[in-house]
Amino acid sequence: MAEGRFPSPFEIETPPGAEGWEELYTYSLPFSEDRRAYEESVFWFQDGIHWPEVLPPWDATFYEYAIASLSQYNTRHYLIPPALGIDYRVLNGYAYLTPVPVTDPAEIEARVPKFMERAGYYFQNWDRLYDNWKEKIRRLTEELKRLDLSPLPEVEPMEVITEGRGEGSGMRLIENYRELLNQALRLWQYHFEFLNLGYAAYLDFFGFCKEAFPNIPDLAIAKMVAGVEVDLFVPDEKLRELAKLAIELGVDAMFDDGDPEAIMAKLAESDAGRRWLAKWDEYKDPWFNFSNGSGFYHTDEVWIEHLEIPFSYLRNYMEKFRAGEDLSRPIEELRAERDRVVSEYLELLPSEEDKEAFNQKLGLARVVFPYVENHNFWVEHYSHAIVWRKMRELGDTLVHAGFLAERDDVFYLKRNEVSDVLWDYYSAWAVGTEPRGTVYWPREIERRKGILDVLRAWSPPPALGEPPEVVTEPFTIMLWGITSDSIGMWLSGGGEEAPADGLKGFAASPGVAEGPARVILTADQIGEVQEGEILVAPLTAPSWAPIFNKIKATVTDIGGMMSHAAIVCREYGLPAVTGTAFGTKQIKTGQVIRVDGSTGTVTILE
């Protein structure tokens, strides 16, 4: 690892014009003098996988809910012996994390029997508990959808009187917003009910394979465990099916021009078109509640709310079908290949005991892995889309009430400020006078937008504080791709020039490809990607899957072997190098690059 350390969080200055940014977040989020000694003593890394951009104030809600829930399971539910939670902060609007280890060996020892009892219960009852989980998520999202966040009426309807309800619409609005927050927190509690245990079982199999076969590619291990049918890939599969159906019904030409609404209107005029629309309606909920980002930002675009995204993919698929391409996934072949890989490694093991242990660990990893693979669709995509939608309903209500200029301004309020705003709204409505907020908030939100714009232009350092000698904490490596190597790479600075021997990253998906680079910094640029190019992005989202039919390979700045980008690339058979740290900085659109997904190297050729 390179020598040196990262700046202390207390050495980082606020960019001019962003003064007071701390007030846009919960008071416990910024670094502060109150905890300075502790905060300076640990290593923090920027979580670019989930929160690569500045956090708008309300969006920080999911950041806090997610990391606190993750931590709660390690620390208080399962008592993961060597690991407490992940501590989290915001600096100049960006998310920084630090894993908290259990350092006292006696305490680790004491946690072991409790972990075995508690985690053991989940492992033994996994399928039943996971079925239960799906039902819990279904109920939770149904309840979210039902929340009424509409404006307060001019007068209460007559039945409030006749039914003797004794409470009014203000109560309803205040209560439903609280309920929205409760459900959002509950969603994240559910999210981590299984996840860490799932990773632990996977890592156990991973560790066994690495011990038996020191040189085994990580990819081979992932291949043995990965499911063949995964919810995360269903939206893309449904799009292919719809593209094929449009051709079969002879309505594909209607997609050639016009905006999606016009196309849909045209489709509704014919029987064939209506059959296609019926299929579309059947699939859109839940499958097209699919975000083009990580799902953690209100600005991430969800397919059913931005029809131009799925429609452009549909057009692309129709073209490919018409050109005679077979886009179906060979499920049986994938299964057979997975079985072959497993049986060959098994055969190479030295003893019967090892074979038994291998089978047992693989068995458990496969029991837990569907959760690891599927939860992301149901939580970050599907449920988050509903939360964002409900928040926009509330935004509309506040626009109607004069507090906001536009619906998305609601995300410039902290989650607890929203309660105060609703109080102001309700209270003035109740009294029959003017609220303060209709003057105060439009002005304040403009000011906040200015601060966030300044922070958006600022580049967060990849890490803060003294780097650890060696990274061993399994979740950090697995989830965030942080290794001693990547820390060394950050410390080496990574200027504008790529090193002569190429950029290094994770060998996330095998194969070699050469082609012109296309550097994409935000999700709304993905329309620029042309056939045959190599995608270079800070990170990719699972919902970008359809463009993986156009591109030859992928390079990302952030992420490890299990990052969503890596999973999608393996699924689509594209070479990928993830976690290069500086790919988007050092590679320029149009440069011809060579991506070696087997060794994790990216070379600029010309």
Partner 1 sequence: MNDFVLWFEEYEPAHLPIVGGKNRSLGEMTRAGLPVPPGFALTTLAYEAMRDQDELARREVRELLSHVDLTDASGLQELAAKVRRRIEAIPMPAEVERALRDAYAALCERCGVDDVPVAVRSSATAEDLVDASFAGLQDTFLWVRGIDDVLAHVQRCWSSCFTDRAIAYRHEMGHDHDRLLMSVAIQKMVRPKAAGVAFTLNPSDGDRSQVAIDSAWGFGEAVVSGEVTPDNFLVDKVIYEIVSRTISPKVVEYRLDEATNRVVKAEVPDDRVNAPSLTDDEAKAVAAMARRAERHFGGPQDVEWAIDADLPDGENVILLQSRPETVWSQKPRTPVARATSDPIEGIVATLLNPVHTRGRGSTVGE
Q: Which of 440, 407, 412, 437 is nearest to 422 (CA)?
A: 437
Secondary-structure breakdown of the chain: helix, strand, coil percentages, each rounded to the nearest 5: 60, 10, 35
Out of 216, 245, 264, 428, the only residue in the binding site for partner 1 (CB under 8 A) is 216
Least distance from partner 1 to the Cβ atom of residue 213, Å: 4
Q: Please choose, out of 127-135, 167-175, 403-411, 465-473, the segment that lies near partner 1 by the rule CB under 8 A.
A: 465-473
Least distance from partner 1 to the Cβ atom of residue 580, Å: 11
- Count of H helices and E strands in the chain? 20, 12
Q: Name which of 126 and 382 has its Cβ closer to partner 1.
A: 126
Out of 473, 492, 549, 550, the only residue in the binding site for partner 1 (CB under 8 A) is 473
Check residue 594 for interaction with partner 1 (CB under 8 A). Answer: no
What CA–CA distance (Å, rounded) separates 527 from 525?
5
Check residue 498 for interaction with partner 1 (CB under 8 A). Answer: no
Check residue 211 for interaction with partner 1 (CB under 8 A). Answer: yes
In the shown chain, the binding pattern of residues 392 to 411 toward partner 1, with x for contact by CB under 8 A and - for none, equals --------------------
What CA–CA distance (Å, rounded) separates 581 from 578?
8
What CA–CA distance (Å, rounded) separates 235 from 323?
22
Alpha-carbon Rg of the chain, whole angstroms? Answer: 25
Least distance from partner 1 to the Cβ atom of residue 483, Å: 7
Positions in 350-379 near partner 1 (CB under 8 A): 350-351, 353-354, 356-357, 360-361, 364
Q: Name which of 81 and 435 has its Cβ closer to partner 1.
A: 81
What CA–CA distance (Å, rounded) separates 394 from 127?
37
Check residue 493 for interaction with partner 1 (CB under 8 A). Answer: no
Check residue 84 for interaction with partner 1 (CB under 8 A). Answer: no
Out of 208, 233, 288, 317, the only residue in the binding site for partner 1 (CB under 8 A) is 208
Beta bridge partners of 463: 45
Q: Name which of 223 and 266 has its Cβ closer to partner 1.
A: 223
Burial of 173 (0-12, 13-18, 19+ CB in 10 A): buried
The CA distances from residue 442 to 202, 297, 447, 450, 453, in Å, are: 49, 21, 9, 13, 17
Least distance from partner 1 to the Cβ atom of residue 50, Å: 19
What CA–CA distance (Å, rounded) separates 282 from 274?
12
What CA–CA distance (Å, rounded) separates 365 from 224?
9
Check residue 248 for interaction with partner 1 (CB under 8 A). Answer: no
CB 187 within 8 A of CB 385: no
Q: Which of 499, 571, 574, 567 is nearest to 535 (CA)?
A: 574
- Total residues at the site for partner 1 (CB under 8 A)? 69
Least distance from partner 1 to the Cβ atom of residue 75, Å: 14
Q: Please choose, out of 14-22, 117-125, 281-289, 583-591, the segment that lies near partner 1 by the rule CB under 8 A.
A: 117-125
CB 316 within 8 A of CB 549: yes
Check residue 507 for interaction with partner 1 (CB under 8 A). Answer: yes
| Main-chain phi, psi angles of 206, to 5 degrees | -55, -50
Q: Please choose, out of 64-72, 90-98, 550-558, 592-600, the segment that lies near partner 1 by the rule CB under 8 A.
A: 592-600
Least distance from partner 1 to the Cβ atom of residue 329, Å: 19
Q: Which of 219, 250, 332 is nearest to 576 (CA)?
A: 219
Q: Name which of 50 and 504 has its Cβ closer to partner 1.
A: 504
Q: Please choose, out of 80-88, 145-153, 255-263, 545-553, the segment that lies near partner 1 by the rule CB under 8 A.
A: 80-88
Q: Name which of 201 and 463 has its Cβ closer to partner 1.
A: 201
Q: Please choose, out of 153-161, 162-170, 204-212, 256-264, the segment that lies near partner 1 by the rule CB under 8 A.
A: 204-212
Out of 204, 305, 408, 524, the only residue in the binding site for partner 1 (CB under 8 A) is 204
Out of 345, 388, 403, 441, the only residue in the binding site for partner 1 (CB under 8 A) is 345
Least distance from partner 1 to the Cβ atom of residue 545, Å: 23
Contacts of 34 (CB under 8 A, 6+ apart): none
Size of the chain, expressed as the number of residues it contains: 606
Check residue 462 for interaction with partner 1 (CB under 8 A). Answer: no
Out of 90, 149, 398, 561, the only residue in the binding site for partner 1 (CB under 8 A) is 561
Check residue 506 for interaction with partner 1 (CB under 8 A). Answer: yes
What CA–CA distance (Å, rounded) separates 277 from 263?
10
Out of 189, 591, 598, 603, the only residue in the binding site for partner 1 (CB under 8 A) is 598
Q: Please choose, out of 141-149, 468-476, 546-554, 585-593, the segment that lies near partner 1 by the rule CB under 8 A.
A: 468-476
Positions in 249-308 near partner 1 (CB under 8 A): none
Provide the 8-state DSSP code for 144: H
What CA–CA distance (Å, rounded) separates 342 from 344?
6
Check residue 570 for interaction with partner 1 (CB under 8 A). Answer: no
Q: Please choose, out of 52-60, 293-301, 302-310, 505-513, the segment that lies near partner 1 by the rule CB under 8 A.
A: 505-513
Contacts of 267 (CB under 8 A, 6+ apart): 251, 254, 273, 274, 276, 277
Torsion of CA 554, 558, 564, 570, to 10 degrees: 40
CB 232 within 8 A of CB 542: yes
Check residue 560 for interaction with partner 1 (CB under 8 A). Answer: yes
- Which residue spans within 391-523 are E strands per DSSP? 463-464, 503-504, 506-509, 512-519
Check residue 223 for interaction with partner 1 (CB under 8 A). Answer: yes
Contacts of 161 (CB under 8 A, 6+ apart): none
Single-letter code of the amino acid located at 262: A
Out of 90, 91, 307, 349, the only residue in the binding site for partner 1 (CB under 8 A) is 349
Q: Name which of 334 and 357 has its Cβ closer to partner 1.
A: 357
Q: Name which of 466 and 485 has its Cβ closer to partner 1.
A: 485
What CA–CA distance (Å, rounded) separates 484 from 390?
42
Out of 414, 593, 601, 604, the only residue in the binding site for partner 1 (CB under 8 A) is 601
What CA–CA distance (Å, rounded) separates 556 from 602?
10
Check residue 215 for interaction with partner 1 (CB under 8 A). Answer: yes
In the complex, the residues that contact partner 1 under the rule CB under 8 A are 80-83, 108, 112, 115-116, 119-120, 123, 200-201, 203-204, 206-208, 210-220, 223, 341, 344-345, 348-351, 353-354, 356-357, 360-361, 364, 470-474, 477-478, 481, 483-485, 504-508, 510, 512, 560-561, 579, 598-601
